[in-house]
Structure 1
Amino acid sequence: MKTFLDDNGGLHWEIYYWIGHQATLDKKACSAIHAVNLRNYLGAECRTIREEMGDESEEFSQVFDNEISYIEGGSASGFYTVEDTQYITRLYRIYGKKNIRLEPMPLKASSLDPRFVYLLDNGLEIYIWRGSQATLSGTTKARLFAEKINKNERKGKAEIILPTDEQETPEFWEVLGGQPEEIKPCVPDDFQTPKPKLYKVGLGLGYLELPQINYKICVEHKKRPKVDLIPEMRLLQSLLDTKSVYILDCHTDVFIWIGRKSSRLVRAAALKLGQELCGMLHRPKHSVVIRNLEGTECQVFKSKFRNWDDVLKVDYTRNAESVAQPSNLSGKVKKDAEKKDQMKADLTALFLPRQPPMAVSEAEQLMEEWNEDLDGMEGFVLEGKKFARLPEEEFGHFHTEDCYVFLCRYWIPVERDDEEEHQKSKKRKVNADGEQDDEDEEEEEKQPEEDFQCVVYFWQGREASNMGWLTFTFSLQKKFESLFPGKLEVVRMTQQQENAKFLSHFKRKFIIHKGKRKTRDVGLQPSLYHVRTNGSALCTRCIQVNTDCSLLNSEFCFILKVPFESIDNQGIVYTWVGRAADPDEAKLAEEIMNHMFDDTYSKQVINEGEEPENFFWVGIGGQKPYDEDAEYMKYSRLFRCSNEKGYFSVSEKCSDFCQDDLADDDIMLLDNGKEVYMWVGTQTSQVEIKLSLKACQVYIQHMRAKDSEHPRKLRLVRKGNEPHAFTRCFHAWGAFRKPPS
């Protein structure tokens, strides 16, 4: 805090808060809060000033006489920090006919047997390896078990990989220590795993008790009379008491189960006993002690117990009639189905604010930076079955039935480390005249200061065939890859869904014509072009629309070409400027007109209301009513409602959306400031329609509370029956795109 007196003798303050590079989030917030509290305590009218390390203002530096030094160190954050979970890599052999069982194996390739299925748990990568002689049912059980591990223990972050015999990846063999020459049977035919032993840890009179629990129960055998009861070893979840601690000895693994209401002393004793148990008794080297807290048990531990979180069984011997009969199994299936119907929904996008439009200055700065990095651009257009070079005078002209390819070369500056630059500055020699030594100059000239990257943009019109993309991938792309190995990136785009960096190279003169390139100037029909900016000056396009007066709008600019009937390639071109159009956009429309047409056409800029009757209204097809405002541009938003993620979610399209963003198999919500249209595609499911209707109602209620001056009304519209209030929110609305051949 800096205090000073003004001319009248009053106290004034300057309050700064300084943030170091390595400061934690809680310290950043506290410094800002305390700075504001200090200002309020003093009753100061000044604002608090944020200063960051290495970017201090001159006023802040003058407080310390421009002598600021930094000291390393500081206290730790007050927040709890979450460390990444460390996973132990394990290899399990899958066996068992009725219930799935896992046998831990040594982590090496020689443990693989072609008769079995193996599960390799490598943390966030779970491999299911199926031997050449293994059954398909074992693979299915192992995959379901891996899904359980991923869902309950890895929070869905793990990737499940299913390599088969002789199709393994190098990463798989790297985990197992290398690929063997041959995979041979290694498990004895009479192999039997020892029965698990369950111990209960307790406190006696001054000593620990470890009694073994007998979990033999008498069950009816299916193949014998009901009176013949046979004792079987069955571990059940009901054997575990929440007030106790248990040790489950499975020979290869030792599990310690800790009840939530157990005492702390018994817990510590159980952990110590588990470690000593592995040390005293003979156990394999790959055996481990695994701690399980009640409610967070690992999936391997649950598999030791009968019917604990088991996968629903499927009996393939039952017919349709027996399945239709009511039974306990059918009731269980019905309950599981009801639980699955309670899907989660993500409606976050509906409550986020509308994306603000980009300032013109920011867009121009981006455009300038991207064009500075551009070293050169070559264009190609598909003519027949080959790509021909596009003349430079046609750059910026695109056609809805053509495909274009642009090869752009960008400079990339080479980043040097500060330490390396410092060492080089020490080695520089200076002669008596104060000039740098010639040897150093030659050495610096040899050092590359810039590198380059090539990006190929493939542009496809709405009415163009996919053959253009196939022709490109099998011809031109291979040539580019051979010329620029390792430095080539391919970006595929469709009409009105272009990359912003690609649009910047045409400096807002991006023109889309109807039809094919060769037939653009053929014919004597008038043509109308609409100039429009969607959310950013980078997204400015001049697109040919239907020659209809009803498409005019007082807040936009249009270009109308009226050819002479008797003379080819001659006529008059008008730039129509609406009375509420932006002056910069009007100037741009005039530049586009001069760029589009040569001197054979007479050019004229006319304002709304000054149209000549003889050519303009006749060329546009007669005078009709049209929109006089474009308020919808300030509110228009497009949302997509879909189940493609496995659950219902709503996502928002960018402000530069187009007609092709309307997905035929989903529901789209369009907000124009007055109405919220629920657009239904032809392939939409009934479930999506019901959920989207609820989401639309939620959005309308939210906007009513947030923007009470503009209450929205719900409107339902089906594909192909869109009203004018809906279509005008899209630039150059036309017929829906047919699937390309």
Structure 2
Amino acid sequence: MANTGVLPFVRGVDFTKNDFSDGKFPAALRLMTGVQWLKLDKTNISEIAEEMGKLGKLEHLSMKNNDLEKLFGELTELNSLRSLNLRHNRVKSSGIPTELFQLEELTTLDLSHNKLKEIPDGLEKAKNLLVLNLSHNQIDSIPTALFIHLTDLLFLDLSHNKLETLPPQTRRLANLQTLILSDNPLEVFQLRQLPSLQSLEVLHMRNTQRNLQNFPTSLDTLANLAELDLAQNSLARVPDCLFNLPNLRRLNLSENEITELSASIDCWTKLETLNLSRNQLTALPATLVKLSQLRRLYLNDNQLDFDGIPSGIGKLSCLEVFSASNNLLEMIPEGLCRCGSLKKLNLSSNKLITLPDAIYLCSDLDQLDLRNNPDLIMPPKPMEMQKGAGIEFYNIDFSLQHQLRLAGATVPPAAQTSGAPSKDPIARKLRLRRGARPEVGQADSAKVLKGMKDIADEKNAKNWEEERTESLKPKRWDESLEKPPLDYS
């Protein structure tokens, strides 16, 4: 195909899941001189094709899930390359040319899920990198020079490696917004560089052997921190410094050894997701209901019973997900059914006997998981919600004492005795039965009603007389005329 064809005008090509093994790489690619993005994911390539050297305008290249071991070849000639994704290959550190990191436009590099045992030589020369992913490799150390030059990094993922420490130069990453260190043996590392990372918004330290002794107490200096993952550690309680992070939105403390939750959690006024699953909690503090922005609450695999859940939980108006499987719940507070945004309710593997009648009021509920509760008996469906109930469907009690009970508050004696009369059906029947009997104090009312009736009768008689007189008046001359019969046949 000639250069005058359509190929020079192609801006992007997706070859995903084509088979380019054994030299089957498309020769026509060399004619796509204007291509800017190229996907070669899952194409069984094992080396860099010669045709790629002609793609001088290529900016985004993805070669995920292939059999690449070396990157020598034409990649170093792609001067416009901005992002390079090589995750899920077999690349070793020795198979990466140092010239690759001298591409001035390169800002995103993903080498995760490969076979790197050390940081590739020359990586510190990629001074314009903004995103660097080296996760799921076998890296055991970070060279000192790496973070001296990569000061523009915004995203750094070093998770699932064999790192025991980080170099002191980590504090130079003043622009870093996301740092992922999960699944590294950092037991003796104190993370003293954290206070220098003032732009940090996301920090993951899952499975890093954290406990109360080696936990970084300076964490509360990160004023912009919005997401914190501390799952799979050995924390016996929530570290005090976490209560000084008012901008937290997502907090994962699952799979720790936490036995009690402090009442100070009410400081997390912006918290949207709280994961406390797989701990040893027996109760939640009453201040939980002050987390007005909370949307997702995970409490699976704890030791919570009915008394351990705050009765005022219905105040969490934004709550969409409540998951408390594998606990000791025999009942749930009725207030939980008053969470107007609730969409997913997981109560599986508990000791439930029944549920509140208000469960039928959860109109937005999409998922209700009640598996493995052998003694559970669902409450009867309210009559007003059954088919044919008519106007009774809207029979809602707005009395003060009823609303106080729904909110979990104690009803004062004054509220119990005051207000509208009780809706006792027996009393109502008695009132209807004696409705026709005259009672003391009703004589005057009867006289007034009789007088009004007499006045109405006189008025009706007068109106009838006027109508009768009107009908006896003689007709005018024009009303007496008869129209002649006309035959149009």
TM range (shorter): under 0.3
TM-score, length-scaled by structure 2: 0.18
Query: If each structure's strand is expressed as a fraction of its own residues, which one has the higher value?
Result: 1
TM-score, length-scaled by structure 1: 0.13
From the CA coordinates, give the structure whose radius of gyration is larger. 2
Q: Which has the higher contact order (CA 8 A, sep 6+)?
A: 1
